[in-house]
Structure 1
Amino acid sequence: MLQASVTPPPYAIVVPTLGRPSLRACLDAVAAATASGRGPERIVLVHDRPGPDGDPPALDVPAALRPITTVVAGPARGPAAARNTGLRAAGPVPWIVFLDDDVVPGQGWGEDLARDLGSASHDTAAVTARIDVPLAHGRRPTDWERNTAGLATARWITADMAFRREALDAAGGFDERFRRAFREDAELALRLIDGGWVLTPGSRRTTHPVRPADRWISVRLQAGNADDVLMGRLHGHDWWGRAAAPRGRLPRHVAVTAAAAAAVGCAVAGRSGAAAWCAVGWVAGTVEFAAARIAPGPRTRSEVVTMAVTSAVIPAVAVWHWLRGTVVHRRVHRADPAAPPGSCSAAPREALREQVGS
C-alpha cells in the first residue's frame, strides 16, 4: 500500500505508437492499474504513422481512458522525436511517464508509480521501472528472444521511464538524431548525469513481451552501429562504460569483413594463394560467429539456418553502418551537460533543437 506520508505528484503518460495491436493491451493494463486512483492527468498517444491526409488515424482506446486521452500526429522521425512531440502536448505537469506501445504495466503499477514519484528527491531526473521479459518455457531462447531479454538488465530503458519535466527541459528533450529505438535513452541519461541529475530505480514492474520478428531482424539491427558512432562523438570514447552498454563484436566484424574484401581483391589481382588464405579467414570468422549464436539457442533447424545465413551477412552490414555513421556524424561535437537541478532554463532546449535541425 502507498505510504500516507508520500504524496504522488501529477503526471502524464506519453506513448509513441505506430498503431500496433499491442497498444490496446498496454492501455488496458494502464486502465486496470490506475482504476482505483493514482492515475494520470492526461495520456498522449503520438501516432507516428500519419494517415493519407496527415491526421493521425483512430486508435483503439479503452473507454475508461478516453476522457483523458489525446492523439497527436508524430513527425515520423523515430521514437525520440515522437517523445518530444508528446512532451510538448502533455501540458504543464511535473512528471512525464514514457511507455512503449508494446509493454504491459503490472497490476500494482499505478500505486508503485505513485510511490516512485512521491519519494523522488529534488535532483532525481528520472525513475526507471523493473522490466520483465517473459520467455518460452521448455526450450532455450532464440537469438531474437535473447536480444529482447537484454531489456530486463538495461541500465536505462524508456520502455517505462518517468522523467521529471524540469530535467527534460534542462536537457532539451531527446536528441532527435537518434532515429531508432536505440541509444536515445542512454544518450539523454548521460547528459542528465553530467549535469548533476540522478536517475534512480523504481519499484513498479512492467512486462515487455517478445514481439514476432522475421529471420532478418538481426541484420536490420546493425543500423545501430551508426548510432554508436554518434554516441562516441557526443560523449567520448568512454561512453560504453559510463552507460554500462555492451561493446558488441564490431572489431571482429571489421576483421571478418576485411578478410572477405582481401580475398576478393587478391583473386582479382591473380594472387590465388593469398586469396585462399583470406577466404579461410573469412570462413573461420563466420563459423565462429554462427557457432557463438547457435550454442545458447534452441538449435532447431529453422534457428540454425537463420543463424548461419545471417552470420555471413551481419559483419559486412555492421561495418557498412559504422562507416556510414562515421561520415554522417563527422562534424558532431561533444554534447553539453543538462542544466543542473534547480537551474532549468529554455536555453538548453532551444540549443538542442537548433543542433538537431542543422
Structure 2
Amino acid sequence: MTKRPAGRNRVPAPAYAVVIPTLGRPSLTACLAALAQARGPAPHRIVLVDDRPLTDCAPLPVEIPATLRDRTETVHGYGDGPAAARNAGWRAVDGVPWVVFLDDDVVPGPRWAEDLADDLRAATARTAGVAARISVPLPAGREPTDWERNTAGLATAKWITADMAFRRAALADVGGFDERFRRAFREDADLALRLLDAGWELAQGRRRTTHPVRPADRWVSVRLQAGNADDVLMNRLHGRGWWRRAQAPRGRLPGHLAVTAAAGGALVCAALGRRRAALGLAAGWLAGTAEFAWARIAPGPRTRDEVATMALTSALIPPVATAHWLRGLVRHRGVAPAAVPAGPVPVAAGPRPARERI
C-alpha cells in the first residue's frame, strides 16, 4: 500500500483551476460527475472552453453537478483546435497558481483531488507541470483492436494534456500552447520541450485518471495521418532529435514514403510501357502493404471485420501519410526555431475578447 505523505492535512493545498476544452461530447457529463465525486480539495474554478464552430449557437449539452455549478463557467473558443482552446481557458483564470487541463473524455479517479493536492505540494519552485497516471481500460477476453491499441498508447505517453497540471506562471513564461498545432496532437510535446528549454522542470504525479476508448469508425486510422504535418512543424521548431527528447515513438513515415514511391513509380513505368520495371515496383508496393497490414492484424482479435479494416486502411495510410507530410513541408517551410525563441507567436497576457456566435 502506498504510504501517504505525513502532514498532508497540515499543509494547505495550492489553489487550482480545471480547464476542459470540449466539443460537447456526452463524455463531458461523466468527466464532471467524476470530478465532483473525487475526494479532496475542490477546484477553485472550472472553465469549460466551448470549441465548437461559432456558427453552432446551441448551449453545451452537459449536466453540471450541483456541487460544481457555482464555480463552473463556459468561455467560447474559436473552433481553432485544442491548443487555442486551452490558451483561452488558462488565460481566463488569472490569480490561480495552478491550472489542470483535462480532456472531456477522461474520468478522474475517486481520490483524484486528494492526490492532485499531494502532487502540487510536492512541486518545487521550478516545477512547471505535473503529469497524471493515465490508464486505458481494454476489453477482457480478446486481443485489442488497432484503434484500442492506439488509444492504449496514452498510458505511456509523456506530458499528455489528457490530465496535466501546469503552473500558470510557467505557461505565461513561454506563451502557452502554440496555436499552429490545430489538432489534438504534438501540441503537448511542443509545450513540454519549450518549458524544459526555458529551464523549467516536469514531474510525474500520483493521481490517476482513466481514459476510456471512445467509439470510432473503421477509417479513424486514416484520418490520424494528418498528424504527419504536425511532425514537420515539430522538426522545424525542435530539430529532428525531438523524438528522443519527448520520448515519443518515431512512427512508420519512412516506410510509408517508400511504399508510396513504389506505387507511384509502378504507375509511371506502366504508363511509359516499361512493364518489367512496373511489375517490380508493384511487387514492392504489395510486399510493403502486406507487411504493414500484418503488423496491425497479428496482435489484434483477427475478426473478419478487423482484418477487412486493416487490409483496406493499410493500403490507404501510406499515400495519405505522404500527402500530409508534403502538406506540412509546404505549410511550415518558413518556420525556424529562431522565430519562436521561448514560446509560440507572442500573445497578450489576458483572455481573448469575446466574440459573438452567429
Conserved in 1, the CA contact under 8 Å of 2:266 and 2:277? Answer: yes
Give the aligned partner of residue 222 of structure 1.
225
Normalising by structure 1, we get a TM-score of 0.92
Q: Which runs of 5+ in 2 are unaligned?
A: 349-358
> Compared with structure 1, are the counterparts of its residues 218 and 277 closer, same or farther at alpha carbon in structure 2 (3 Å cutoff)?
same
Conserved in 2, the CA contact under 8 Å of 1:14 and 1:43? Answer: yes
Give the aligned partner of residue 286 of structure 1.
289
Distance 1:350 1:181 in 2: 19
Conserved in 1, the CA contact under 8 Å of 2:54 and 2:79? Answer: no
Give the aligned partner of residue 13 of structure 1.
18
Q: CA deviation at 1:19?
A: 0.4
Conserved in 1, the CA contact under 8 Å of 2:142 and 2:301? Answer: yes
Conserved in 2, the CA contact under 8 Å of 1:50 and 1:57? Answer: no
Letter in 2 for 1:301: R
Give the aligned partner of residue 344 of structure 1.
none
Conserved in 1, the CA contact under 8 Å of 2:297 and 2:307? Answer: yes
Equivalent residue pairs, number: 342
Q: Deviations over 1:47-100 (max 9, x none)?
A: 111564757545321111111000111110110000001112123200000000
Conserved in 1, the CA contact under 8 Å of 2:151 and 2:213? Answer: yes
Letter in 1 for 2:16: Y
Which aligned pairs between 1:129-140 and structure 2 lie closer than 5 A?
129-140=132-143
Distance 1:48 1:59 in 2: 14
Pick aligned residue for 1:31 from 29, 36, 48: 36
Q: Secondary structure at the match of 1:296?
A: coil
Give the aligned partner of residue 196 of structure 2.
193
Conserved in 2, the CA contact under 8 Å of 1:14 and 1:90? Answer: no
Conserved in 1, the CA contact under 8 Å of 2:178 and 2:345? Answer: no
Q: Secondary structure at the match of 1:255?
A: helix
Letter in 2 for 1:15: I
Normalising by structure 2, we get a TM-score of 0.92
Pick aligned residue for 2:91 from 85, 88, 92: 88
Q: CA deviation at 1:125?
A: 0.2
Q: Which runs of 5+ in 1 are unaligned?
A: 339-347, 354-358
Q: Secondary structure at the match of 1:38?
A: coil
Give the aligned partner of residue 352 of structure 2.
none
In the alignment, does 2:276 pair up with 1:273? yes
In the alignment, does 2:321 pair up with 1:318? yes
Q: CA deviation at 1:233?
A: 0.2
> Compared with structure 1, are the counterparts of its residues 12 and 301 closer, same or farther at alpha carbon in structure 2 (3 Å cutoff)?
same
Q: Secondary structure at the match of 2:183?
A: coil
Conserved in 2, the CA contact under 8 Å of 1:256 and 1:282? Answer: yes
Identity %: 67
Conserved in 1, the CA contact under 8 Å of 2:179 and 2:344? Answer: no
> Compared with structure 1, are the counterparts of its residues 14 and 155 closer, same or farther at alpha carbon in structure 2 (3 Å cutoff)?
same
Distance 2:344 2:58 in 1: 27
In the alignment, does 2:111 pair up with 1:108? yes
